[in-house]
């Protein structure tokens, strides 16, 4: 672990102790883990690559909760323990700080760090991005390399969500809309124009299946998102055919098990063979 990463972990611990948060960041072997709320939290990173170049452009940080006995816990089950309020805001920030600590530990020369941001968090604070801007600054990672992924969950106040996103952008963070097009989440289409994200991550349901009608729809959606000035990531790419369908539609970046599975280290993504065909 670099001196910068070790100092950042010490800084995090001091900050959270001062705030009375029930969490302690510690070094678990080569990685950083957070202990608190009766669980241990670890990071896993999934690579995201350029659809044509195959170059690894970034990683999505994913939290992996474990019971104190070492048993894996479902992420949704863990997050559902926290309603809107200080606890939700704090645990969301802890998860992002954990990923940032492990990102700094790996010291990538470049690339983006994608961090999930639960909408309930944005309804839990009025100082949108203020605290995390200080955390990112302490880590030495500029906000322009951090992509805040707005999860698909509905909120009780979409107008407040839009104001929060605007504030995050003003602080330099990039914004991504996650799981766009997922069945049963029509709220995404409203958010596309209301939030004006920098990146739109298409749900895998949009690339699964190879009918001409679905390919046509995918191409039109990609064009519409590009027209709004946003970049498109195809999520959940699991086969060579799906990767090619995404490329043919003009998708900019690829993410999924074919590209690389979530891993504790910042691994390079795999260029699908179809790109060379």
CATH level 3 topology of 41-64+74-268: TIM Barrel (3.20.20)
pLDDT tens, residue by residue, 26-51: 887 778 888 887 889 999 999 999 99
Domain ranges for the chain, please list them: 41-64+74-268
- Report which of 115, 39, 42 is spatially closest to residue 81, judged by C-alpha positions: 39
Per-residue pLDDT at 276? 47
Tell me the pLDDT band of 154, cut-offs 50, 70 and 90.
low
Structure tokens at 63: 């939290």
Q: What is the pLDDT of residue 277?
A: 46
b (16+ CB within 10 A) / e for 114-149: bbbbbbbbbbbbeebbebbbebbebbebebebbbbb
Strands 146-150 and 112-117: parallel
CA dist list (Å): 247 to 19, 148, 217, 272: 47, 24, 14, 11
Q: Which residues pair with 126 in a beta bridge?
A: none
Q: What are the distances in angstroms from CA 269 to CA 60, 260, 262? A: 12, 5, 10
Look at residue 131 and tell me whether its pLDDT is greater than 90. Answer: no
Q: What does pTM read for this prediction? A: 0.90
Report which of 223, 238, 180, 236 is spatially closest to residue 60, judged by C-alpha positions.
236
Which residue in 47, 60, 51 sits closest to 246, CA to CA? 51
52-67: per-residue pLDDT in tens? 999 999 999 999 999 8
Q: Which two tokens stand for residue 62?
A: 């994913």
pLDDT score at 130 = 87
Higher pLDDT pick, 126 / 250 = 250
208: number of Cβ within 10 Å: 15
**Residue 218, token pair as written in the block:** 């995918």
């Amino acid at each position: 672990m670099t001196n910068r990463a070790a100092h950042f972990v010490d800084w995090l611990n001091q900050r959270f102790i001062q705030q009375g948060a029930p969490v302690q960041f510690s070094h678990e072997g080569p990685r950083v883990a957070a202990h608190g709320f009766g669980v241990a939290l670890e990071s896993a990173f999934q690579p995201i690559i350029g659809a044509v170049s195959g170059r690894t452009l970034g990683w999505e940080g994913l939290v992996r909760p474990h019971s104190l006995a070492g048993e894996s816990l479902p992420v949704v089950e863990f997050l559902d323990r926290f309603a809107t309020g200080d606890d939700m805001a704090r645990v969301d920030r802890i998860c992002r700080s954990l990923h940032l600590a492990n990102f700094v530990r790996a010291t990538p020369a470049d690339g983006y760090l994608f961090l999930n941001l639960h909408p309930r968090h944005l309804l839990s604070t009025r100082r949108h991005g203020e605290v995390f801007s200080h955390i990112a600054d302490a880590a030495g990672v500029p906000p322009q390399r951090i992509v805040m992924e707005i999860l698909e969950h509905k909120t009780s106040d979409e107008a407040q969500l839009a104001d929060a996103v605007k504030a995050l952008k003003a602080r330099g963070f990039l914004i991504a809309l996650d799981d766009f097009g997922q069945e049963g989440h029509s709220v995404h289409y409203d958010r596309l124009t209301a939030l004006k994200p920098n990146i739109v991550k298409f749900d895998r349901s949009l690339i699964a299946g190879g009918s001409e009608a679905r390919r046509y729809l995918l191409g039109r959606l990609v064009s519409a998102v590009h027209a709004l000035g946003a970049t498109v990531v195809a999520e959940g790419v699991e086969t060579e055919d799906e990767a090619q369908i995404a490329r043919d539609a003009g998708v900019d970046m690829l993410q999924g098990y074919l590209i690389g599975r979530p891993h504790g280290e910042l691994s390079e993504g795999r260029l699908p063979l179809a790109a060379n065909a």
